[in-house]
Structure 1
Amino acid sequence: MSVDSPLPNVGELAFFLEQAGLGLGKEETVRVFLALKQLVDTQCLMRCRFWGKILGTQSNYLVAEGEFREGEGEEEEEEAGQTPEDVEREEEPDDKDEAELVEAADPPPKSTYKPPPPVPKEGNHTGTNKFTYFVCQEPGMSWVRLPMVTPAQIIAARKIRKFFTGRLEAPVISYPPFPGNEANYLRAQIARISAGTHVSPLGFYQFGEDEGEDEGLRDTYEENPNFEGLHVGEMAESLNLWVHHVQHILTQGRCIWVNVTKKPDEGEEEADDEEREEEPEGPEPEYAIAVLRSNLWPGAHAYSTGKNFGNIYIGWGLKYIGEAFTPVMPPAPQNEYPSGPEITEALDPSVEEEQALKAAMEEQDAALEETEELEEDEEDD
């Protein structure tokens, strides 16, 4: 592999992931490398990276992250990034004669409500659409470019929780409804996972000299040629030496906030990044690596060793929402009441027995009456 080739070093990635107990296995890793080589040979990519693997109920997705050369691939990205609003405008009904006649006879009151303007999607090579993503179900199959993601799709993806089927054209049946099919949902989840889990050692990247700090548009970065690496022991013990190099997605569904009401921006955040260049104390392990696992997105991992680092995701594409609800088991059933003569059910008496009992009760009542009369006589005497 030449220096200028965009083909990633999948073997090196697999080696370091194997040290952390991760990876896809040697056989599948080689097949993924050949599949990425096929992608690089067919697309004019300036950079390519194996993003990870998303599992599905019917088939899985191998995901590759690419960046086109300047002026390449933008026309196809625009076509693939058709918004749901464009689809709705194409599906407007043509038959309006009956409605027009009714409205002309008795015009209904017109509403003064104006819906908020839609949030525009971010352009190519910026924000959530900074990179282009390709997927395939198995190494050797053709790669499919995913469409550009819109803010509406990211906002809807945050409100639903769906397993992937492995079919890009499959509908996403959910509430609230998702504006797109599984290809759009997959692209939205990739953007969310990248923004939440892609980290790098502190100082590995730096902002370019032509970045507009005054405008708050620090969305590009480049490798720091003066980066000398960080001590593995310190990176394994402290999270302060790991930084997010992918922009955070705002609640608006974009990485860069836009004012849809056309009002002037009122406040901008300023971030001061201080470079830390501390020489490690003591001997540095030669072959040790530091591994970081995400608790928010299970399956996302990052490693760092010396001047090398990498990010990968292997999972179901779902965010962690807490332990599953397990209802309390009902108590054990109580033992039966001990059987005895006082609770034993007796047999019903026959007619003769009932008559005999009735006669005995009458004789007893008569005897009691005689006794009471004798007592009253004695008292009178």
Structure 2
Amino acid sequence: MTEAAGKVESPKQSESAKQSKVPSAAESGEKLVQMESELNLDSASETMIRNAKAYLLQKSTISSLSLYDHLSELLTKVLDERPVNAVDIIEDISVNIKRSQFSKKIDTLRDEYETTMAYSLAEVQKSLFVKAVEEEEGVDHEEEVQLETPLPNVMEMAFYFEQAGVGLSRNEMYHIFLALKQLVDSQPLQKCRFWGKILGIKGNYIIAEVELREGEEEEEEIEKEEEKEEDRKDADQDGEEEGEVVEDKPPASTYKPLPVIPKERNRSGTNRYTYFVCSEPARVWTRLPPVTPAQITTARKIKKFFTGNLDAPIISYPPFPGNEMNYLRAQIARISAGTQISPLGFYQFGEEEEEEEEGAVRESYEENTDFEGIPVPELLDNLANWVHHTQHILPQGRCVWFNAVQKKEEDFEEEEEEEEEEEAPDELEPEVGPPLLTPLSEDAEVNGVLPWTMKASSNLIPQYAIAVVQSNLWPGAWTFATGKKFENVYLGWGHKYSPENYSPPAAPAVQSEYASGPDTTEVEDPTVEEEQALRAAIEEQLAAAEEEEEEEEEEEEDDN
């Protein structure tokens, strides 16, 4: 027989083998216990797995997606693409998967593309690069270019500030240049200058300092005064009508509020220039209102970040009289008064102002045509070669002090008729500040901090360097000078340097109660006997006075 045939088992041998493999009763019992425990473990783990999967399958209330599906797509994408260093870019892959879930549906006719902030801003700034179509035909462009224009050369200023490492990017400066051209074309301006840029939390402010043509502001002031007079007349008429109906009037209050410090007129003091602002180039330019002394004095006591919304309220203590538009105007006035400087001799006082009496406040100056410039080493050597060409703001909030105690002649006449003459109050001492064109060397330090820092734009090539001056009291204010050219710019948050953390002023002390005295203290009523005794004493005094008069008359008659 072959080996295969020899390996065939007989039925008897197979039965005996099966009998030998049958386990005993003890072994079968142990196996049953082991199987039951494994089943219990499997059921517990299955329950945990089901709970975990149910948690992962929960959909978000915001995006209506589940973490389970997101992880599945994430792992599928990683395994399909197998990127290098997947652990480093796993977050980007997750973000792309989420964005793909919210992609817009594609129309069969036209694709809908998502518009970004940069794209929407570029659409708005298209108007900067479109030249206005001239209605008149036959206009000579060469003559037009030769005419004087108030538009400043912003790119030249950016070129010099770029050497000092200060300023904005060239693209943004060119956009601002074009935006200023739109402002000059739309407003009757005599002068225009790029003042700077103030940063905000949600938006920024690009600021232009302008001077309107003569007569434009006067017309606006006349219109405002006429409106105020009409409002007063309406209020007086209403008061007369109410007076006819109401017979018994309540007693008039004797309280006299503190006099209001009036604002300075246009083209003088803190309102010498007009300011326009916009959030981005090609946006609408908004004209800021004139600043008042109350706004400046309150702005010195608070510290607020700008939001980028001109109509946003200013919530502070002490309360600010206005919104963000007024707060921005107050900060511009403070920064201009403290940081606008020029080389010594570039400006000079006119002949008329030199002939004025001593003590008079000089408010204007003129450009010196004979100015030849100061060498850069001398500008960097001494602060006395730089001067302030903007008026100092007094603690009152004005550049020229106003006597609030002084009254009009009409008020004096009324008081003389109604009341007796009283002692004149002590005259207030007028507030005095440094005059115009004061050298920077006279500026005082603040807690050991120098107010100015000077440097050259380049130490490697000093013969072609320019002089750069930085304000330490107003971080972000810069000035450059080279030859006969100089310029000021501010790029910052609009806050003054403070050596300590800002803390709001404390609330005023609680008002004390009315002082007790004979006029306010309640006195006990006298008795009948006390009243009779008082009357008797008064009668005796009167009788004695009459007797003295009679005796005097008799003596006079005897002498005659």
Task: Provide the TM-score with structure 2 as the length reference.
Answer: 0.50
Counterparts of 1:27 and 1:174 in 2: how far apart (Å)?
Answer: 37
Residue type at the aligned position of 2:272: K
Cα contact 2:387–2:438 (8 A) shared by 1 = no
Counterparts of 2:364 and 2:437 in 1: how far apart (Å)?
Answer: 14
| 2:159 equivalent to 1:159 | no
Residue-by-residue CA offset, 1:133-186 (whole Å, 9 max, x unaligned)? 000000001100000000111011111100000000110000000000100000
- Corresponding residue for 1:232? 376
Cα contact 1:121–1:150 (8 A) shared by 2 = yes
Q: Offset of 1:213 from its aligned partner? A: 3.2
* Higher RCO (C-alpha 8 Å, min separation 6): 1
Superposed, which structure 2 residues align to 1:204-283 within 5 Å? 204-211=346-353, 213-214=356-357, 216-262=360-406
- Corresponding residue for 1:202? 344
Aligned to 1:134, the other structure's residue is in SS state strand
Aligned to 1:210, the other structure's residue is in SS state helix
Unmatched 5+ stretches in structure 2? 1-144, 226-230, 240-244, 408-426, 440-460, 503-560
Q: Offset of 1:287 from its aligned partner? A: 2.6
- Correspondence for 2:314 among 159, 169, 172: 172
After superposition, the Cα gap between the structure-2 partners of 1:63 and 1:80, relative to the gap in structure 1 and judged at 3 Å, is farther
Residue-by-residue CA offset, 1:110-147 (whole Å, 9 max, x unaligned)? 66442221111000100000000000000001100000
Cα contact 1:235–1:290 (8 A) shared by 2 = yes
Residue-by-residue CA offset, 1:53-107 (whole Å, 9 max, x unaligned)? 00000000000000011112444477799xxxxx9xx99xx99xxxxx9x969x6
- Corresponding residue for 1:186? 328
Cα contact 1:80–1:146 (8 A) shared by 2 = no
- Corresponding residue for 1:133? 275
Cα contact 1:77–1:147 (8 A) shared by 2 = no
After superposition, the Cα gap between the structure-2 partners of 1:172 and 1:299, relative to the gap in structure 1 and judged at 3 Å, is same
- Corresponding residue for 1:49? 193
After superposition, the Cα gap between the structure-2 partners of 1:33 and 1:270, relative to the gap in structure 1 and judged at 3 Å, is closer
Cα contact 2:305–2:493 (8 A) shared by 1 = yes
| 2:323 equivalent to 1:146 | no
Cα contact 2:391–2:436 (8 A) shared by 1 = no
Residue-by-residue CA offset, 1:20-61 (whole Å, 9 max, x unaligned)? 101111000100000000000011111000000000000000
Superposed, which structure 2 residues align to 1:101-120 within 5 Å? 112-120=254-262
CA RMSD of aligned residues (A): 3.8
Q: Offset of 1:221 from its aligned partner? A: 1.1
Q: Offset of 1:216 from its aligned partner? A: 1.4
Counterparts of 1:181 and 1:66 in 2: how far apart (Å)?
Answer: 22
Q: Offset of 1:4 from its aligned partner? A: 1.8
Cα contact 1:289–1:303 (8 A) shared by 2 = yes
Aligned to 2:181, the other structure's residue is in SS state helix
- Corresponding residue for 2:464? 287
Q: Offset of 1:8 from its aligned partner? A: 0.3
Aligned to 2:464, the other structure's residue is in SS state coil
Aligned to 2:216, the other structure's residue is in SS state coil
- Correspondence for 2:486 among 309, 314, 322: 309
Residue type at the aligned position of 1:118: V
- Corresponding residue for 2:410? none
Counterparts of 1:183 and 1:163 in 2: how far apart (Å)?
Answer: 13
Q: Offset of 1:259 from its aligned partner? A: 1.1
Unmatched 5+ stretches in structure 1? 82-86, 96-100, 276-283, 326-381
After superposition, the Cα gap between the structure-2 partners of 1:15 and 1:121, relative to the gap in structure 1 and judged at 3 Å, is same
- Correspondence for 1:299 among 476, 480, 495: 476
- Correspondence for 2:208 among 64, 68, 86: 64
After superposition, the Cα gap between the structure-2 partners of 1:2 and 1:195, relative to the gap in structure 1 and judged at 3 Å, is farther
After superposition, the Cα gap between the structure-2 partners of 1:192 and 1:162, relative to the gap in structure 1 and judged at 3 Å, is same
Cα contact 1:291–1:302 (8 A) shared by 2 = yes
Counterparts of 1:2 and 1:50 in 2: how far apart (Å)?
Answer: 22
Aligned to 1:49, the other structure's residue is in SS state strand
Cα contact 1:6–1:45 (8 A) shared by 2 = yes
Aligned to 2:210, the other structure's residue is in SS state strand
Aligned to 1:291, the other structure's residue is in SS state strand
Residue-by-residue CA offset, 1:234-261 (whole Å, 9 max, x unaligned)? 1112111111000000011000111122
Aligned to 2:469, the other structure's residue is in SS state strand
- Correspondence for 1:318 among 485, 495, 502: 495
**Percent of paired sites with the same residue:** 61
Cα contact 2:474–2:497 (8 A) shared by 1 = yes
Aligned to 1:18, the other structure's residue is in SS state helix
- Corresponding residue for 2:164? 20
Residue type at the aligned position of 1:185: Y
Q: Offset of 1:273 from its aligned partner? A: 7.4
Counterparts of 1:316 and 1:80 in 2: how far apart (Å)?
Answer: 33
Counterparts of 2:490 and 2:402 in 1: how far apart (Å)?
Answer: 30
Segment of structure 1 superposing worse, 253-262 or 302-311 = 253-262
Counterparts of 1:286 and 1:123 in 2: how far apart (Å)?
Answer: 45
Residue-by-residue CA offset, 1:318-339 (whole Å, 9 max, x unaligned)? 11111559xxxxxxxxxxxxxx
Which one has a larger percent helix, Structure 1 or Structure 2?
A: 2
- Correspondence for 1:121 among 263, 266, 279: 263
Counterparts of 1:55 and 1:3 in 2: how far apart (Å)?
Answer: 35
After superposition, the Cα gap between the structure-2 partners of 1:77 and 1:32, relative to the gap in structure 1 and judged at 3 Å, is farther
Aligned to 1:234, the other structure's residue is in SS state helix
Task: Provide the TM-score with structure 1 as the length reference.
Answer: 0.72
Residue-by-residue CA offset, 1:348-372 (whole Å, 9 max, x unaligned)? xxxxxxxxxxxxxxxxxxxxxxxxx
The structure whose Rg is larger is 2
